[in-house]
Structure formats: structure tokens, C-alpha cells
Structure 1
Amino acid sequence: MTRMVNCIKLGKEAEGLERPPYPGELGKRIFENVSKEAWQGWLQHQTMLLNEHRLSPVNPKDRKFLEEEMEKYFFSGGSANPPEFVTTHP
């Protein structure tokens, strides 16, 4: 049976994640409140952040930045694109 959540990001009921996607309390909150669709949106946003800021997931400082952006993306009104970022698709 598919687990449904009231997705905080999409503002609707949608298919939930199969397991917490991140450790700790933040991962638990995401598991309980974020849909698979919204999580995929975060993964795309995170990839852009990694590329534009030249971050390394193995660097503790960079991981902390990504965690803060993840918190913003889902629970605090959104994570902004870097000022110099220009989208190439309509």
C-alpha cells in the first residue's frame, strides 16, 4: 500500500517517501511531511546548489550549508537560487 502524506511543499496529499531520506530530526520531519515529488524537486535544487557554489558533499561546512538550505526549501519559505544563477529552460 502506498503511504500518503499531506505534502508541506506541494500543499496537497501525495505519495510519501519510503524511508527518511536524511538522518536525524530533519530527515524524520521530511519523511512525515514531504512527498516523493517534492523530494525530487529538492534533489534538482540541491544539484544546482552543489554546482553553482562548487560544494563538496564530503566537506562538513558544505554539508551544513546544504542542510540549512534543505530546511529552508521545505519548511521556511524556500531556498533561493544563487544571484548569478540563470536558468536555461523556459
Structure 2
Amino acid sequence: MVRCIKLQKELPGLDEPPWPGELGQRVYENVSAEAWQLWEERMTMILNEYRLMPWQKEAQKIVAKAMDDFFFGEC
């Protein structure tokens, strides 16, 4: 169980960090599985809208920034 930073309630967490590095660890410790599903929908929209290829480094940087904003940004 985690106190989900996005949904502001105690919910089941993720099974493992979903992204490499520090950002993945922050998400793992602070984001619920339910909020992660919301992010996956948003990430798909971003990849399609900008026609990004997820295996490319530049696309990974864009996705990581969007993920950080989605979970930990001011909004």
C-alpha cells in the first residue's frame, strides 16, 4: 500500500519500479497502481500525438519529463 501522491489516498502500489533510475523509484514509492494506469493512458496519448518512438533516447527524455510533471508537478 502507498499513499498515492496523484489520487491522495491509500491504495495498492506497483509491484516494482516502472521506470529506471531515481524517477522510477520515486514513482514506485509514491504512486498507486490505479494512478499508474491513468499515466499509461496519458503516455500513450503523448507518444501518439508527438509520434515518438519509445526506444529512442529523446523520446524517453520527453516521456520522463511528462511523467514527472504528471505525478509530481504543481497541477
Q: The residue matched to 1:77 in structure 2 has which SS?
A: coil
Instruction: Please list the CA deviations of residues 8-42 of structure 1 after superposition, one character each: whole Å capped at 9, or x if unmatched.
Output: 00000001011111111001100000000000000
Amino acid at match of 1:9: K
TM-score, normalization by structure 2:
0.96
The share of aligned pairs that are identical, in percent, is 52
Q: The residue matched to 1:6 in structure 2 has which SS?
A: strand
Amino acid at match of 1:49: I
Q: Which consecutive aligned stretches of 4+ in structure 1 deviate over 4 angstroms post-superposition?
A: none
Please name the residue that 1:28 is paired with.
Answer: 25
Instruction: Please list the CA deviations of residues 38-59 of structure 1 after superposition, one character each: whole Å capped at 9, or x if unmatched.
Output: 0000000000000111011121
Please name the residue that 1:75 is paired with.
Answer: 72
Amino acid at match of 1:70: M
Count of aligned residue pairs for this structure pair: 75
Amino acid at match of 2:18: P
Please name the residue that 1:57 is paired with.
Answer: 54
Structure 2: any 5+ residue segments left out of the alignment? none
Q: Which has the higher contact order (CA 8 A, sep 6+)?
A: 2
Greater Rg by CA:
1
Q: The residue matched to 2:25 in structure 1 has which SS?
A: helix
> Does 2:55 match 1:41?
no
Greater per-residue helix proportion: 2
Tell me, in whole angstroms, the C-alpha distance in 2 between the residues paired with 1:60 and 1:53. 14
Amino acid at match of 1:64: K
RMSD (Å) for aligned C-alpha atoms: 0.8
